[in-house]
């Protein structure tokens, strides 16, 4: 497999790096606008854009402006947009029924975007945390995050989203058995063409901090998510999870966070050869932006380099808050 390298000076690897033209010819990976999925935060209201302080440049948008964002994404060549709702605290309960309300913020936004920009793929989030009084992704009973009851709730959530026209369902909850349960329910309800991008290897990470601010879950969360999200020390376990999710009917596999877990992306791609995605999460975005704002890093360059690292690691696409900016850079050629 490894090509033979003749000894110096027969081989001088700098020869193919000498000019831009030669570097173009030997480039192994490419990043295109078609690789990008743009996560956006949504909120109630009209004509409202509210900054998220821990994510400079990122805002929470009302539904009408989320539609505008979808139009912008489509014009830039970004194939998919992913919705995360900031839920009014008064709607958060221990039973989380707002999660499958057909008229909740997220479902109204799916319908509005599909009506205005039918060609863009709308991806959703499936987990109870935006609707849960205690901030967890699952239903909590006596301090335990209960698996099977949570899966029943997630299935209702998935069906409501599919009904609104969602193209890609994104279960981010890490419960066991959820992909199989959703897939069976979708088939039964006539939604056999709806795709599932499973947050398969989702680690219990401190890099999600700014996201929890953005969706208003930081204050609510009691304890941590270590009984359902993965231990950052594990890699073989991710492979078992991927195999399990594929067997249960996932179409696409996600690794999350991104940059600290590029080794996992590579293993998933090599071992399964399936559509593989990374989520460059809020904390990754925040740290690059913070350094850029201090003048310590060149924002555009680190953005493009970080996105290319996912392609090099075998990913087919990246969820990134940089999506519109990266697309503008790519489109400018």
Residues that bind ligand PBG (CB under 6 A): 125, 127, 129, 137, 172, 208, 211-212, 225, 281-282
Q: Is 202 a catalytic residue?
A: yes
Q: Is 225 a catalytic residue?
A: no
**DSSP per-residue codes, 105-168:** HHHHHHHHHHHH-TTSEEE--B-SGGGBTT--SSEEETTEEEHHHHHHHHHHHHHHHHHTT-SE
Query: Whole-number minimum distance, CB 62 to ligand PBG, in Å?
Result: 20
Alpha carbon distance 328, 212 (integer Å): 27
Q: In terms of CB distance, is 39 or 314 closer to ligand PBG?
A: 39
Q: In terms of CB distance, is 98 or 137 closer to ligand PBG?
A: 137
Query: Whole-number minimum distance, CB 192 to ligand PBG, in Å?
Result: 25
Cα-based angle 71, 281, 45 (whole degrees, multiple of 5):
45
Q: In terms of CB distance, is 63 or 254 closer to ligand PBG?
A: 254
Residue nearest to ligand PBG (CB): 211
**DSSP per-residue codes, 53-122:** TTSTT-EEEEHHHHHHHHHHHHHHT--EEEEEE---GGG-BSS-GGGG-TTSHHHHHHHHHHHH-TTSEE
Query: Whole-number minimum distance, CB 308 to ligand PBG, in Å?
Result: 20
Output the furthest CA–CA distance in the chain (Å, rounded).
71
Q: In terms of CB distance, is 62 or 124 closer to ligand PBG?
A: 124
Query: Whole-number minimum distance, CB 207 to ligand PBG, in Å?
Result: 6
CB 121 within 8 A of CB 168: yes
Q: In terms of CB distance, is 29 or 57 closer to ligand PBG?
A: 57
Catalytic residue among 92, 114, 256, 269: 256
- Element housing 50 (H / E): strand 49-51
Q: Which residues contact 56 (CB under 8 A, 6 or more apart)?
A: 286, 289, 290, 293
Q: In terms of CB distance, is 40 or 127 closer to ligand PBG?
A: 127
Catalytic residue among 114, 202, 225, 311: 202
Alpha carbon distance 246, 239 (integer Å): 11
What phi-psi label fits residue 35: left (phi over 0), alpha (psi between -120 and 50 degrees) or beta?
A: alpha
As a residue count, the chain comes to 333
Query: Whole-number minimum distance, CB 154 to ligand PBG, in Å?
Result: 11
Query: Whole-number minimum distance, CB 143 to ligand PBG, in Å?
Result: 18
Which residues are the active-site residues?
202, 256
């Amino acid at each position: 497999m490894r090509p033979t390298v003749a000894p110096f000076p027969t081989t001088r690897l700098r020869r193919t790096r000498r000019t831009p033209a030669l570097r173009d010819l030997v480039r192994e990976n490419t990043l295109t606008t078609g690789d990008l999925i743009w996560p956006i935060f949504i909120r109630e209201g009209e004509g409202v854009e509210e900054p998220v302080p821990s994510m400079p440049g990122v805002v929470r948008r009302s539904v009408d402006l989320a539609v505008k964002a979808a139009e912008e994404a489509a014009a830039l060549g970004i194939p998919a947009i992913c919705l995360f709702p900031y839920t009014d605290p008064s709607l958060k309960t221990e039973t989380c029924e707002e999660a499958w309300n057909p008229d909740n913020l997220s479902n109204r936004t799916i319908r509005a975007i599909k009506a205005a920009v039918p060609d863009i793929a709308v991806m959703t989030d499936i987990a109870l945390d935006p609707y849960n009084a205690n901030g967890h992704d699952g239903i909590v009973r006596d301090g335990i995050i209960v698996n099977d009851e949570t899966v029943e709730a997630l299935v209702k959530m998935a069906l409501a989203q599919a009904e609104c026209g969602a193209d890609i369902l994104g279960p981010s909850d890490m419960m066991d058995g959820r992909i199989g349960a959703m897939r069976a329910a979708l088939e039964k309800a006539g939604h056999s063409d709806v795709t599932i991008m499973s947050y398969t290897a989702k680690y219990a990470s401190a890099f999600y901090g700014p996201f929890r601010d953005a969706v208003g879950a930081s204050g609510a969360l009691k304890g941590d998510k270590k009984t359902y999200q993965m231990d950052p020390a594990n890699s073989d376990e991710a492979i078992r999870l991927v195999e399990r999710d594929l067997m249960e009917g996932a179409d696409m596999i996600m690794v999350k966070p991104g940059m600290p877990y590029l080794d996992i992306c590579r293993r998933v791609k090599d071992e399964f050869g399936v559509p593989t995605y990374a989520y460059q999460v809020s904390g990754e975005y925040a740290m690059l932006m913070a350094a850029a704002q201090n003048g310590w890093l060149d924002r555009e360059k680190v953005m493009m380099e970080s996105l290319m690292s996912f392609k090099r690691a075998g990913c087919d696409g990246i969820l990134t808050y940089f999506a519109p900016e990266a697309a503008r850079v790519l489109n400018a050629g």
